[in-house]
Amino acid sequence: MSSFNTHQRRAYDEGLPTRVRHTNLRSCLVQFAPYGFRATYHHLCLSAGIPKNLEKDPSSLIRAVEELHHARQLWLADERAYANSRRADKARGFRQVKADESWRSRQREWGNIAYCPEPTIHPDEPLPAVVERVLRSSVPPDEAPALTCRVCGKRDNTGVWHDGAHRIHQLCRECGVSLAVQWADAPDPLLAADQARRWKEIWRLRNESPRYSS
């Protein structure tokens, strides 16, 4: 698989067809997507103003990649600092990862910095601002971190969201971030079909009517 930097360069390359550049933007999201692939893609479509007809504003692809790149740089710096800290701990004989207040306690479960399972409900601030806030956030390990949103800091402010398949999420009402998840008793085929239809519209750049939680 090609690297983020390779796809980033291709998305910048004005000598390539806009559809190819757009595909490379999506490939960047495979490498780094703070809200998860779908919600991060939806966010960038809105924040960069990517039109359905890419030829109307090809520069929107550069704006989207730039926003993603700056957020990724913050994450990479945090990764380097964490790796250095772990090496120092191991050198002192502390090999077990200790519980702390950082975002990593949740990242190990979700694989994203601030996972938003519903593509259209996510923070609307620039990605670097949100990523930096999450990286600096703290939740005491003896509390229930699933009840505290690291993006907005609110606690016990959740709503239920069913993915239509196997999971029911507790989403932050302000940010759309998943704060807890449980297995659903049964799938909901109609709900799953509706969500698949809406994702197809997002995928085809029909993003005129974003929906945020209230």
pLDDT 10s digits, 129-179? 999 999 988 766 555 545 788 899 888 888 999 888 888 999 999 999 998
Q: In what order do the strands lie in the sheet with 167-172?
A: 158-162, 167-172, 178-183
pTM (2 decimals)? 0.85
At 92 the pLDDT is 74
Instruction: Let me know: does 168 contact 162? Beta carbons within 8 Å.
Output: yes
